[in-house]
Structure 1
Amino acid sequence: MTATSDEIYDALIIGAGPSGAVTAHTLAMAGFKVICLEQGDYVLPSDYAANHDMWELVARGHWAAEPNHRRNPADYPLEVSDTDLSPSMYSAVGGSSIHYSALWARLSPSDFRVRTLDGVAADWPINYAELAPYYAEIDNFIGVSGMEGDPAFPEGYVPPLPPMPLGKYGMKAAASMNALGWHWWPHANAIPSQKIGNLAACARWGTCTQGCPEGAKASFDLAYWPNAIKAGAKLVTGARVSRITVDETGAAAGAEWIKNGERFETKAKQVVVCANGIGTPRLLLLSASEQHPDGLANSSGLVGKNLMLHPNCAVIGYYDEELESWRGPAGSAISSMQFAETDTSRGFVRGSKLHACPTPGLMFGGVDAHRLLPFDQLWGHSFHEAIRIARNAIFWAANIDDLPEETNRVTLDPVLCDSDGIPAPKISYRFSENTIKIRDFTVARMTEIHRAGGAKKVIPITDLQGEPGHLLGTARMGRDPSTSVVDEYGRAHDCPNLVISDGSIFVTGGSANPTSTITALALRNAKKLVETLQGDK
């Protein structure tokens, strides 16, 4: 039995992560009646792993990045037998921003024009200049820390707060880049260096990826949701959406959802899906109907295809100097776009963004990196040395520009279900030849950086599992309904009152951490939706 209310909302949002929070805030501030359904719950900074003496051990349970390992009540399982990389995500108010390291990078202008410039993938229907004002508005709202003038980006990129301190490890990383003559710049972080709004100033705990106990990181449960609720948005937690409903014309009518075993239906004039690059295609495929037999908004057949997971690689270097690499934030002190653009002499297209990070967590952090080495180089007498040198490490990591391929996709598994009996997503994803070439080239360059800095030991990690939780491309935007799922404002070609506003609408992934772009797109889409709703009154 499904409980259906006659109440009709102006907008129903599915997912309370960064894009859902921005959408709810924008619509509520404009005076519209908004409800958001989130399958997770609130998390409290006092509950985070860092509050426990054995925080590194606690972080591997409830706070683990992969849902199949974590298995919290709000999680749904993933079928991952056919993937080179198991996706990471987190279900809660604030979504995966609870876990992200808050690296706040923008896509480069070239990322929007990959087809034109490099003859691969497709161009976005918008460009960097069109998105720049929305980037800036989000930056100013959450208090991004950084430094203007980065030559890798056009003029006008001005983070509102001063950058985080580079620290000893950051200064060492910068000196190594200077020795090689390679680009670097203080990385922008969605972590305020000064108190702003609902956020405290960073206290440098270094546990960002397990949640900030200081309340300083711009996770969107803190950065946006209090303001959205104050403006009138309604947020329902523990609500697992099972399908988006449609009327007799095929237009979106609302959603059916489950909470504590009870079934509900909520109606709305507009439905906005913000369930991430895996949850969104799953829900669209679950919402097949007589009007949309292949899945909602799927006349192109592209829903779930072109999955980009942004594979990461890393090289850890250990130094004789005291680098205090246990200090936070656990994002990045500096980054480099030296190898982000295409150079055909390297034998591949596109590239990677490099970032120098600390290595918080002396015990497991020190051990984990050495697990790739032979037994006698970790255990016994070697164990003590591995722990001792962990505090003097630099973690150079890279996001690889993961070009879209239709064979990398999300489908519904015919057997596996979540705790409510809803089919789980099956992930099919393989590294392309181009991706592997970028990865191998990038690992060699990061090794070179460590050698330039005088590292006494270097450990390459070509396949960094559990990272980075970037779920992109499975409902791409475009102007042609036959080659895309949504238009340049996230409106589904097949169902204009259905808007998608998460990483699934990316056309290409670039090598930037995507949350800055996800939220800028969500803000742009939400402002267009305000115009639409105002026109309907």
Structure 2
Amino acid sequence: MASAGSDRRGESADVLIIGAGASGSLAAKHLSENGFKVVCLDQGPWVDNKEFAGARPEWELMAQKRWHPNPNVRDLENDYPVDTSESDVNPLMYNAVGGSTILWAAHWQRFMPSDFRVKTLDGVADDWPFTYEELEPFYEQAEEEIGVSGLAGDPAFPPGKPLPLPPLPIGKIGMKAAEGMNKLGWHWWPGPNAIPSKSYRGRNACVRRGTCLTGCPEGAKASMDLVYWPASLKNGVKLITGARVKEVLVNDRGLATGAVYIDRQGRERTQKAGIVIVCANGIGTPRLLLLSTSKRFPNGLANSSGLVGKRLMMHPYAAVTGVFEEPLESWLGPAGQTIQSMQFYETDKSRGFVRGAKWQVMPSGGPLGMRAAYGGRPLEEAWGANLHRNTKRVFGHAFEWGIIAEDLPEESNRVVLDPKLTDSDGIPAPKLIYKNSENTKKLIDFHLARAQEAMKAAGAVSMTITPLMRDCGWHLMGTARMGEDPASSVIDQWGKAHDVPNLFIYDGSTFVTSSGFNPTGTICAVALRCVKHLIANRRDQEIAA
């Protein structure tokens, strides 16, 4: 379905998109159906869902390496290494057509209205340059395109249009967790997921295999290769896979003219374009901008503010896993969320910190459970007779209350270019410098205590506490933030770089704050808002000749 990576010398696109993940895939589809000539570069391959191991006996073993979400563990040719020696959290991502949605759990969340007004409400961070109400129609359109399953009427959110598909079953684990929440009088609601509860636009209904985090062999989960790329290719988008971009080019007028990339034969190629849109995630985007230096941009492209790479937010993740006497079928999917809670989401300053966290119930998985993420137990507990005894006790009898902690934007948390580490093409790799703040630590401690109360109320006979999961950095945000002031932001509210009028950024690096929610729904809504503005204003858009 995808081109192998050759280009025609001198052939220019109207728009070059770098990255075929959530935002890049969405942008390619909308631009191409509105008459733009689009080329999209992605360093990963096209992955056939027949490659996923979820329907095979070796599934849990394959999850430890080939389908591990940490690129430093997975170490495929299409990955680049990330120096995490100074980070509390490992980044999780996947390079392919569809990006990290290949391996995501497909939690679909809108941000709360308060998330766009953090400075106004809580006196920290900054407000977004638009409101929830302005973004709402784009949430609705994205949900329709992607096929989100969920139940309308959640009292934690403003009233709105029902989701296009009915909710997935919450199962025995959802029912058991809800019992505990009801006893405490705490909020819960069936969790929305970008997983179809019935067949939708060519995708199959979820069969609840529970292997979402290693790719969906059923072709059900809303990975963007399935959602957007069939239409984009039909519309004439040129998709070049195996293309590792090393630099965005600019001319003497300071306009982006295209990009230089290396194909899988090691050849350096150039793709020209009138407009460039970067969608390489909250690590890949600042890395590429910092790599793209010139006389006009000695400190990196679009970096006059000095904020490219800074204010990295990754949502530190904590969890309480409860074990119950009764069987709960807790291997069943979705491996996303069954129910969620916003009981402690909004700021209550009497707690000693600001902001909050969203909770979700997730299954405990197969016999190996989540050992890759929750490792570190003593060897005697994970070997021999104890392994069999613990597996019998836990398998099918446990679930997790996961806690997504909002972390605030801090300039000390950042992405830089590593002075020594490179990828397989010799391009400098990114290095993360990321530490949890005191506010984050207090927030996590509070939520862990409340989650233990919820487990106890539900009848858990034992609990395991994970104060911070090292492999939790799915949510990569904030490193090229939007805003109206060029001195304190990289792009404007429409994704346009302040310094380069035909360079756009649409991915999670644009986020002003992180919220306590999974960001993909908001990435898609913001990208949709931005690309529709670009389309509507195409006649006034400055382009490279």
TM-score (norm 2): 0.96
1:140 aligns with 2:144: yes
What is the match of residue 420 of structure 1? Answer: 425
- Decide whether aligned partners of structure 1 residues 397 and 292 sit closer, same or farther in structure 2, where only a CA change above 3 A counts: same
Of 117, 120, 133, the match for 1:116: 120
Task: State the alpha-carbon separation in 2 of the partners of residues 134 and 369 from structure 1.
Answer: 34
Select 2:218's aligned residue among 211, 214, 217. 214
Q: Which residue, out of 277, 283, 290, partners 1:285? A: 290
Q: Distance in 1 between matches of 2:491 and 2:372?
A: 42
Kindly state the Cα deviation for residue 376 of structure 1 after the two structures are TM-superposed: 4.6
Q: 1:396 to 1:289 in 2, by over 3 A?
A: same
TM-aligned CA deviation for residue 15 of structure 1: 0.1
Q: Secondary structure at the match of 1:50?
A: coil
User: Structure 1 residues 3 and 189 mapped into 2: Cα distance closer, same or farther (>3 Å)?
Assistant: closer
Give the counterpart of 1:345 among 350, 374, 381. Answer: 350
Structure 2 letter corresponding to 1:478: G
- 1:370–1:386: 8 Å Cα contact kept in structure 2? no
Note if 1:444 corresponds to 2:449: yes
* Contact map agreement 1:367 1:386 (CA 8 A) in 2: no
Give the match's secondary structure for 1:415: strand
1:256 is the counterpart of 2:263: no
State the match for 1:153 in structure 2: 157
SS for the counterpart of 1:384 is: helix
Q: 1:320 aligns with which of 312, 319, 325?
A: 325
Distance 1:277 1:396 in 2: 26
| Alignment counterpart, residue 458 of structure 1, candidates 431, 456, 463 | 463
Counterpart for residue 522 of structure 2: 517
Q: Is the 8 A contact 1:3 1:263 kept in 2?
A: no
Q: Secondary structure, in 3 states, of the residue corresponding to 1:51?
A: coil
Whole-angstrom distance in 2 between the partners of 1:30 and 1:59 = 40
Deviations 1:5-51 (A, max 9, x none): 22221100000001000000010010110000000001111111213
Q: Percent identity?
A: 54
SS at match of 2:152: coil
Check 1:531–1:169 CA distance in 2 against 1; reply closer, same or farther (3 A cut).
same
Q: Which amino acid aligns with 2:72?
A: N
Does 2:273 match 1:268? yes
Checking the alignment, whether the CA contact within 8 Å between 2:373 and 2:469 is kept in structure 1 is no
The answer as to whether partners of 1:367 and 1:387 remain within 8 angstroms in 2 is: no
Q: 1:406 aligns with which of 395, 411, 435?
A: 411
Corresponding position of 2:3: none
Q: Tell me which residue corresponds to 2:437.
A: 432
Greater Cα shift, 315-324 or 379-388 = 379-388
Equivalent residue, structure 1, for 2:89: 85
Instruction: Give the aligned residue type for 2:235.
Output: A
User: Which aligned pairs between 1:110-259 and structure 2 lie closer than 5 A?
Assistant: 110-259=114-263
Contact kept in structure 2, 1:366 and 1:390, CA below 8 Å: no
What amino acid is aligned across from residue 171 of structure 1 in structure 2?
A: M
Q: 1:395 aligns with which of 386, 395, 400?
A: 400
Q: For residues 239-267 of structure 1, what are the alpha-carbon distances to aligned partners after superposition, in whole Å with 9 as ceiling and x for unaligned?
A: 01110000101111110111020111111
**Any stretches of 5+ residues in structure 2 without a counterpart?**
1-5
Q: Give the drift of 1:531.
A: 2.2
Task: Report if the CA contact (8 A) 1:370-1:377 is conserved.
Answer: no
Q: CA deviation at 1:414?
A: 1.0
Distance in 1 between residues matched to 2:43 and 2:127, nearest whole Å: 34
Deviation at 1:378, TM superposition (A): 4.2
SS of corresponding position for 1:245: strand
Q: Quote the Cα distance in structure 2 between the aligned partners of 1:193 and 1:290.
A: 53
Task: Provide the aligned C-alpha RMSD in A.
Answer: 1.5
Q: Which residue of 2 aligns with 1:529?
A: 534
Does the CA contact (< 8 Å) of 1:284 and 1:297 recur in 2?
yes
CA deviation string 1:312-356 (max 9, x = no partner): 000100101111000011001100011111000110000100000
Is the Cα–Cα contact under 8 Å of residues 10 and 270 in structure 1 kept in the other structure? yes
> Could you tell me which of 21, 45, 48 is aligned with 1:44?
48
Number of equivalent positions: 535
